[in-house]
Amino acid sequence: MIDTVAFGSAVAMLAGSLDAWLWVVPGLLIGLVFGALPGISVSMAMALVLPATLYMEFLPAIIFLTSVYTGAGFGGSIPAVLINIPGTSSAVATTFDGYPMARAGKHNEALGAALFASCIGVLISYMILLVLVQPLAEVVLRIGPYEMAAIGIWGMVLLGSIGGSSVSKGMFAAGLGILFGTVGMNTAGYMRGDMGIPWLLDGIPTIPAMVGLLAASQLFALVNAKFIVEAEGDRGISLRRILAGGAMVLKNPVTLLRGTAIGVFVGAVPGIGSSIANLLSYGETRRTSADAETFGTGNVKGVIAAESANSSSEGGSMATMLALGIPGGGATAILLAAFAMHNVIGGPRFMEQSRDVVYAIILSNFAQAAVLVVVGTIFVYGASTIVRLPLRYLIPSVLVVSTMGAFAMEGSIAGPITLYVFAVLGWLLSRYGFPVAAVVVGLLLGRLIETEMLRAWQLAGGDLWRVLDYPWALGILGLMVLSLALSLRRDLAKRRALRAAASPG
Amino acid sequence: MTATGTPMLRRRALLAAGTGLALAAPAAHAQAYPDRPLTILVPFATGGYNDRLARAMAPFVQKHIGQPVTVMNRPGGGTVLGNTFFLQQPDDGYMVMVHSAGPYIPVSILTRNARYKADDFWMINLPSRDLTLMACATGKPTQSVDEVVASLKRDPRSLSVGLQPASADLINFALFCQAHGIDRSAVRVVTYDGGGPARNAVAGGHVDVGLVGGEGFLPIKDRIRPLLMFTDAKDSEYPDTPILTDHARAAGFEPQFVEGSQRGFVTSKRFVDAQPERYRILLQAIERATKDPECVTTLGGQQLATTWYGPEASNRAYLATAALMERYADLLRSR
Amino acid sequence: MTQGEARRQVAWAELGFVTAIAAGVLAFVVEARGVSRDPQNLLLLQPTAWLVLGLWAVLAAGCVTRRVDPAAPRESRADLARVIGMVAAFGLFILGLEEVGYDVAILVFVLVGLIIGGERHPAALILFPPIFTLAVIHGFRLLIPYPFPTSVL
């Protein structure tokens, strides 16, 4: 499926334009910095460098922008691990185990694992892209409301009750999250829960709410602690341990590949993919692991699952952009705008006529993934100094930066207000033993599930049996029920074994 | 953490400032306005038509007004947030919008309880006119608009129709159903919050038929079958697609439709009244930029419109759309 | 360890919190039903709201019949006061952003935050807040396209 002539000319094109390569490292660094700042999104970083690319040739411009994209994709996981702040909505699942690892003094390993999982995820997703760009785009385009609703429900079921001190508290928190997700105007045009506030029409601003729930609430609880890492001896920053974290990725190939596969297919669905792919990958890994109960307390597999899925979403959304000219999200929309500024129109015709350029873009992303290993390691090394900062400095500083990031989302006070309300809510929830992560999952998936269920309902004209016309959705739901039944049986067997072990004593 | 990124960013900022100054020099003959940079406000997210138009026009407006011009996005609430923010700014002419003014401003008033009025805004020039296109995926059996009509007449539930709620497309579909005597409330209408998702749903075959602005379909033209264009004149991009006036004549009804998006430069009526001299300068700069041959070629290459209609024609078109929207307000609200 | 040592005590604070949230959910579902009873409005919202309200009953019952272990460690009043102080300071900071300008609000909040966190060294209290404020204001001016009001910088 690879056009060898075009492939050859792509290699020649990349070898011939050395100046294009100069932009990889700056691009990755800009992406890392922006991705690491809470609230500043990938698309904002790309929009900011977009004017600079006007003065470049087409290929260097695109390589620069995709480098920013790749860098930002990983950048979000750094604050997720170190201070429980998901830099982007696709790094939410990274916080679940990354932050507990950091608190236990395993920040080096967690970041190393996140970095390697990201790089390998990007690499594999672009390899798939190189061979399957057209069919991949076709598959992604066919994922409609029924399939998406089924995927969303699956994610909710897998993650609905993570953490928390009891099942009823977990479900209460998840339900609350879903309700938060339904605030504002829904896809059919009904407005509810907006309290007359104009900016709530689009729903609760997700990123500030998430940062408030996960991070700010956590920071309040840390006011009486001295450092993120309690034991002084564990606060070291070690290249060897970062690389050891990377090695853990290679020891968990199944987790990595599953995450990548979920990322490529689910993450590529226009608009909503990448924020659900990492959750789904995390949930599936947790469900299938023998040590499921250690998830959420610092299991490196959780980090690998989340990071391989969110980084491979990049390759997937590039597929729909290159092959169909459909932007999957803000980042690819800006890439398309950059294409347009150089008088190139993405889409099927571009794929046919400029296959060599497409290959050159894909190949340069291989290189970016490789360079990211080095640049990312250095960056992680520097960013890890955060664990050495006393919390009395870190807490006000991080709260200020998060507030500025929340402001930067929309340029209005709406972000900071949302951040504060959800920070207080998150603090109270965790104080009384409710799983805050379940609220975040509900908030993220609630809107998705409502939108897609509503469209499915509209497609069916209110007739539920129409779901029978959608074998893929049925397949997903069937798989879900089957896998849940299996894990339930396993849990029961485990409990029986425990009881049997306890009773003779 | 910021330290690593700043050298690069600062260099870029200097570069931008440098080009701004260099361009400012020729127009530096003493005048009070403008003496600082201008901002183009786009009430949509980055990457859409308005954003691309604003970013492509910015260097040319900069050239003709003699001050740096930057683009700012403030999306949300179906442009309510951007519109409200814009009207809150001082009437000093340092901010101008690039907007799909028609139908977004009137629709936001009718369906989102926005507090401004349609004539609070003043159109400088609306070069881009988008039309509602009825289309289906190439893989669907539907070959023509007549088949759609026949199928919906036989059983309104036979086809699913994708469109945006509270849009010109919905009004056009409602009028179309009315004219053909199709019971719209029985049709399986699937709603999408944005033209992009609606087009993806059409191209991916999630819905049988979709009604969305035709311009956005251009990049994926090969994947769809255009069925009907809601217009009275053939469109150059879709020369073979039947148009509503012909379709209506054949079916024996009076053609009624509303134009899709009317996009371009917009300011506030208050500014025009309060600062006529500044308005004249701004208008002149935008007119010169729009007619700049270099601008025409550059924007043409990006499939962006540069027609100059001027404020009079643009306001007339905009207010006509607003009046039509108001007339069909019940269609927008009732479901 | 006998059962008698753990005595029954109503967890008032938790009960109040759960009830307040449930009241918010009830208000939301009532408002949503007021907008429209069309399934296209209530498809997901209403069942979820009923579920949450049902769980409220379970949780509230749990709060009333809770058995507390008197031996369990309790946080000291001073610790709790510091946390609440930080929550309040952050709230005032958010309110003050547009009132006194981002620069002044950040400066004051960082200073108060340091004091709540237990920093007592005068040099640190004098130097860190202004340097940090400068860095944040100038850094974000470079990064984001939106203007934010400031008083001094």
**DSSP 3-state assignment of B237?**
coil
Burial class from Cβ neighbours inside 10 Å (0-12, 13-18, 19+) for residue A370 reads middle
CA A190, A192, A196, A202 torsion-angle sign: negative
Q: Cα(A42)–Cα(A31) distance, rounded to whole angstroms? A: 7
Q: Cα(A22)–Cα(B73) distance, rounded to whole angstroms? A: 30
Are residues A111 and A78 in contact, defined by beta-carbon separation less than 8 angstroms? Answer: yes
Nearest chain C residue to B13 by CA distance is C142
Among the partner-chain residues A183, A191, A223, the one whose CB lies closest to the CB of C86 is A223
> φ and ψ at B32, to 5 degrees?
-70, -40
pLDDT band at C14 (very low <50, low <70, confident <90, very high): very high
Where do you find CATH 3.40.190.10 in chain B?
132-251
Chain centroid to Cα A486, Å, comes to 28
Q: For residue B15, what pLDDT is reported? A: 40
Residue A375's domain comprises: 4-500
Are residues A350 and A358 in contact, defined by beta-carbon separation less than 8 angstroms? Answer: yes
Chain A residues lying within 8 Å of C83, measured CB to CB: 220-221, 223-224, 427
Chain C residues lying within 8 Å of B71, measured CB to CB: 145
In angstroms, the separation between the Cα of residue A175 and the nearest Cα of chain C is: 6
Lowest-pLDDT range, A308-317, A387-396, C90-99? A308-317
In chain B the first and final C-alpha atoms are separated, in Å, by 52
Are residues A187 and C40 in contact, defined by beta-carbon separation less than 8 angstroms? Answer: no
* A352–chain B Cβ distance below 8 A for any pair: no
* C65–chain A Cβ distance below 8 A for any pair: no
- How many other CB atoms sit within 10 Å of the CB of residue B322? 22
In chain C the first and final C-alpha atoms are separated, in Å, by 63
Interstrand relation of A191-192 and B95-100 (parallel, antiparallel or unpaired): unpaired
Check whether A473 has a pLDDT greater than 80: no
**Subunit contact A40:C113, Cβ cutoff 8 A:** no
Burial class from Cβ neighbours inside 10 Å (0-12, 13-18, 19+) for residue C16 reads exposed
Q: What is the helix (H) or strand (E) element at residue B199, kind and residue range?
A: helix B195-203
Question: How many domains in chain A?
Answer: 1
In angstroms, the separation between the Cα of residue A200 and the nearest Cα of chain C is: 14
**DSSP 3-state assignment of B42?**
strand
Are residues B282 and A320 in contact, defined by beta-carbon separation less than 8 angstroms? Answer: no
Among the partner-chain residues B2, B13, B72, the one whose CB lies closest to the CB of C145 is B72
**DSSP 3-state assignment of B71?**
strand
Chain C residues lying within 8 Å of A34, measured CB to CB: 143
Report pLDDT digits (tens) over B59-93: 899 999 998 888 888 888 888 889 999 998 899 99
In angstroms, the separation between the Cα of residue A289 and the nearest Cα of chain B is: 35
Q: Which of residues 96-135 of C touch A (CB under 8 A)?
A: 97-98, 102, 106, 109-110, 112-114, 116-119, 128, 132
Q: Cα(B319)–Cα(A176) distance, rounded to whole angstroms? A: 44
In angstroms, the separation between the Cα of residue A385 and the nearest Cα of chain C is: 17
Residue A332 lies in a domain: yes
Report pLDDT digits (tens) over C24-42: 999 999 999 998 898 889 9
Enumerate residues 6+ apart whose C-beta is below 8 A from A165.
A433
Are residues A451 and A445 in contact, defined by beta-carbon separation less than 8 angstroms? Answer: no
Among residues C85, C5, C131, B219, the alpha carbon closest in space to that of A326 is found at B219
In chain A the first and final C-alpha atoms are separated, in Å, by 65
B38-129+261-334: CATH homologous superfamily?
A: Bordetella uptake gene, domain 1 (3.40.190.150)
Check whether A227 has a pLDDT greater than 50: yes
Where do you find CATH 3.40.190.150 in chain B?
38-129+261-334
Report pLDDT digits (tens) over A85-126: 887 778 899 999 999 999 999 999 999 999 999 999 999 999
Q: Cα(B218)–Cα(B196) distance, rounded to whole angstroms? A: 12
A to B CB pairs, distance under 8 Å: 160
Show the CA angle centred on residue A372, arms to residues A369 and A376, nearest 5°: 150
Q: Cα(A340)–Cα(A320) distance, rounded to whole angstroms? A: 16
Q: For residue C2, what pLDDT is reported? A: 46
Q: A: neighbours with 3+ CB pairs under 8 Å?
A: B, C
Q: Cα(A372)–Cα(A119) distance, rounded to whole angstroms? A: 7
Q: For residue B149, what pLDDT is reported? A: 95
Residue A416 lies in a domain: yes
* C39–chain B Cβ distance below 8 A for any pair: no
Check whether B13 has a pLDDT greater than 60: no
Rg, chain A, Cα only: 22
Q: Cα(A279)–Cα(A96) distance, rounded to whole angstroms? A: 10
Helices (runs of H) and strands (runs of E) counted in chain A: 23, 2
Report pLDDT digits (tens) over B245-291: 999 999 999 998 888 889 999 999 999 999 999 999 999 999 999 99
Are residues B203 and B216 in contact, defined by beta-carbon separation less than 8 angstroms? Answer: no
Give the residue-averaged pLDDT of A326-335: 80
Give, as one character, the DSSP assignment of residue A84. S
Q: For residue B24, what pLDDT is reported? A: 41
Please give the mean pLDDT across all residues of chain B: 85
Please give the mean pLDDT across all residues of chain A: 86
> φ and ψ at C126, to 5 degrees?
-80, -40
- Which fold would CATH assign to domain B132-251? D-Maltodextrin-Binding Protein; domain 2 (3.40.190)
Q: What is the helix (H) or strand (E) element at residue C79, kind and residue range?
A: helix C77-100
Residue A505 lies in a domain: no
Are residues B141 and B119 in contact, defined by beta-carbon separation less than 8 angstroms? Answer: no
Show the CA angle centred on residue B96, arms to residues C150 and A333, nearest 5°: 90
Report pLDDT digits (tens) over A26-84: 999 999 988 888 877 787 888 888 878 877 888 899 999 999 999 988 998 999 999 99
Residue A184 lies in a domain: yes
Listed as own residue / partner, the contacts of B327-335 with beta carbons closer than 8 Å and 24 or more positions apart are B328/B171, B328/B174, B328/B175, B328/B258, B329/B110, B331/B170, B331/B171, B331/B174, B331/B175, B332/B107, B332/B110, B332/B111, B332/B166, B332/B170, B332/B171, B333/B110, B333/B111, B335/A188, B335/A189, B335/B185, B335/C38, B335/C40
Q: Cα(C137)–Cα(C93) distance, rounded to whole angstroms? A: 15
Are residues A219 and A395 in contact, defined by beta-carbon separation less than 8 angstroms? Answer: yes
pLDDT band at A287 (very low <50, low <70, confident <90, very high): confident
